[in-house]
Structure 1
Amino acid sequence: MALDRPDLPLNGLRVFEAALRQGSFTRAAIELRVTQAAVSHQIARLEDRLGVTLFLRTSGGLVPTEEGRALYPVVEHGFDAIARVLDRITGQRHIEILNVGVVTTFAVGWLLPRLAAFQHSHPAIDLRISTNNNRVEILREGLDMAIRYGAGNWTGLKAELLVDAPLSPLCAPSVADRLATPDDLGREVLLRSYRGDEWPRWFARVDGACPPLTGPIFDSSVAIANIAVDGGGVALLPVAMFIRHIDEGRLVQPFAAQVSAGSYYLTWPADRPATPEMADFAKWLHAELLDENDTGYAEYRDKGVSEIS
């Protein structure tokens, strides 16, 4: 059904964009400074106007339908284009907001120390970081992109490899003094993540038998690393994310053997066109990771450049 231009439901489209980005009628109402009932009414009017359902209301929150997911990037980019033109007309400097979810290990181990450099080189981008434990829903959380750890095969997302992150045991120097061979690990506390196959795979890599694994399970490599620093056990961690801990002598890598369990990827919705800000952030990430003077990452400098366009 074609829309007559004089009857374009601009208010409804604006409310729709905010509701999908925020993942909630309540949060959209707060952003738009109206009541939740007003948001619900505008969405109902828009759905009636279009003749489709845009959201499914579930106990877990708003879930966009196929029609809602198709409409969102068009509306988002349309409003962005209007804002940019208005800024040029009025002579104002346009600042674009870029919301990125980042798994905590990558954020703490690599990204956060470099944010000042990004802001310096991209002053027109307001970068907003949300950390997570590798569980993130880009659209529902109002994100543009997410950096996550895994195999790079997430449904509905495009994924671009940033850096490989093989795992190796790391521990405090006092613990490392007791480790002459991998068999000595059987007398230590082996700190575990929720991915239960990591230690067995590492012991298979060194042709050893994995000892019984007991004790608490953690969902954060940063938490595991902090325990290891305090001498509370041996952690199996992505070494590239803890280079500073090693350089500062807080952690030691007692054995050279590593096992690949995943990589860090930059991801974004497959059905959403990339904005110039998304492309700039992706290219900056690759440039930093491939910098031959960046300690700990020189081995990855041949990975190429971003394909986001």
Structure 2
Amino acid sequence: MDRPDLPLNGLRVFEAAYRQGSFTRAAIELRVTQAAVSHQVARLEDRLGVTLFVRASGGLVPTDEGRALYPVLEHGFDAMARTLDRITGHRHIETLKIGVVTTFAVGWLWPRLPEFRQEHPSIDLRISTNNNRVEILREGLDMAIRYGSGSWTGLESDVLLEAPLAPLCAPSMAEYLTTPESLSREVLLRSYRSDEWPRWFAEAGALCPPLTGPIFDSSLAMAEIASDGGGVALLPVEMFTRRIADGRLVQPFSTMVSASRYCLTWPADRPPTPAMRDFRSWLLTASAEPALGTSA
């Protein structure tokens, strides 16, 4: 049986729509109308004899056939771009889009980016930050660094850093914190993970006081308020070594409690590009090294 004569433009439009999760966003990227994108995808579906997307209120939901087609096309388009650049003598610049939880981006990744860019000048690294809520494919990302258990459905992951928690506060407050029980007199800043303070107090061998402090979805916000004397925050110490080093934050107790970890994630069904492999290798090496400003 003859294979269908597939339109290259339709395949390219499908790839953009899948990555963007929206005909409208794909149209903006490709600089065409939304109707043109819809038409191209419908024409491709007709030629293939399958449905590639189910239109839902939340956006486009790829079918099994769509999910099988996307990684093949993405890999193929990237391979064509690299080959054409070699033929024409141009240096290939590969774009890599990474979503990063903000605390990790500011506290760990940003100071190390000059090293990555120096080692990999052919990778155009584009970073978008989030508060640990990210959908890789829906947001057009290649990979994401997030905080959690390391196990997410449909994703592969590498553990980059463990993130044990400890109370951090302003130096002026730390001098009054002589025992874990003395924390009951202070405002305890809380994350949306409600078990963290009770677990820390249990590790410290003390009863957890009633928790009435404000709740945040950002460790950076808690750190900023804590450094201004607004309360005590339970934070991943590794992400705030610079603030501790310059005296803005103090760790009054050595007790730390194991929490989640920072992980690099990517879709399990997506063949990694050269840029994805290079970034992953660099991250694993860098995360195994001592924290900046410390010695082994």
Report TM bin, short chain.
over 0.9
Aligned equivalents of 1:198 and 1:251: distance in 2? 19
**Residue matched to 1:50:** 48
Q: Which amino acid aligns with 1:169?
A: P
Farther-moved stretch of structure 1 (249-258 vs 111-120): 111-120
Matched, 1:145 2:156: no
How far does residue 250 in structure 1 lie from its aligned partner after superposition? 0.4
**Residue matched to 1:266:** 264
TM-score, normalised with respect to structure 2? 0.97
How far does residue 9 in structure 1 lie from its aligned partner after superposition? 2.1
Q: Are the equivalent residues in 1 in contact too, given 2:6–2:44 (CA < 8 A)?
A: no
Q: Are the equivalent residues in 2 in contact too, given 1:160–1:265 (CA < 8 A)?
A: yes
Q: Which amino acid aligns with 2:253?
A: F
- For residues 297 and 59 of structure 1, do their structure 2 counterparts lie closer, same or farther at Cα, with a shift above 3 Å needed? farther
Q: Are the equivalent residues in 2 in contact too, given 1:63–1:140 (CA < 8 A)?
A: no
Q: Are the equivalent residues in 1 in contact too, given 2:148–2:261 (CA < 8 A)?
A: yes
Taking only the aligned residue pairs, the percentage that are identical comes to 74
**Residue matched to 2:105:** 107
Alignment size in residue pairs: 296
Farther-moved stretch of structure 1 (263-272 vs 110-119): 110-119
Q: Please tell me the root mean square deviation across aligned C-alpha atoms, in Å.
A: 1.4
**Residue matched to 2:190:** 192
Q: Are the equivalent residues in 2 in contact too, given 1:288–1:294 (CA < 8 A)?
A: no
TM-score, normalised with respect to structure 1? 0.93
Farther-moved stretch of structure 1 (82-91 vs 47-56): 47-56
Aligned pair partner of 1:281 in 279, 282, 285: 279
Q: Which amino acid aligns with 1:283?
A: S
Gaps spanning 5+ residues in structure 2: where? none
Gaps spanning 5+ residues in structure 1: where? 299-309
Aligned equivalents of 1:172 and 1:223: distance in 2? 14
How far does residue 44 in structure 1 lie from its aligned partner after superposition? 0.8
How far does residue 3 in structure 1 lie from its aligned partner after superposition? 2.5
**Residue matched to 2:255:** 257
Q: Are the equivalent residues in 2 in contact too, given 1:200–1:210 (CA < 8 A)?
A: yes
**Residue matched to 2:116:** 118
Aligned pair partner of 1:175 in 173, 177, 180: 173
Q: Are the equivalent residues in 2 in contact too, given 1:21–1:142 (CA < 8 A)?
A: yes
- For residues 215 and 292 of structure 1, do their structure 2 counterparts lie closer, same or farther at Cα, with a shift above 3 Å needed? closer
How far does residue 290 in structure 1 lie from its aligned partner after superposition? 2.2
Aligned equivalents of 2:257 and 2:231: distance in 1? 19
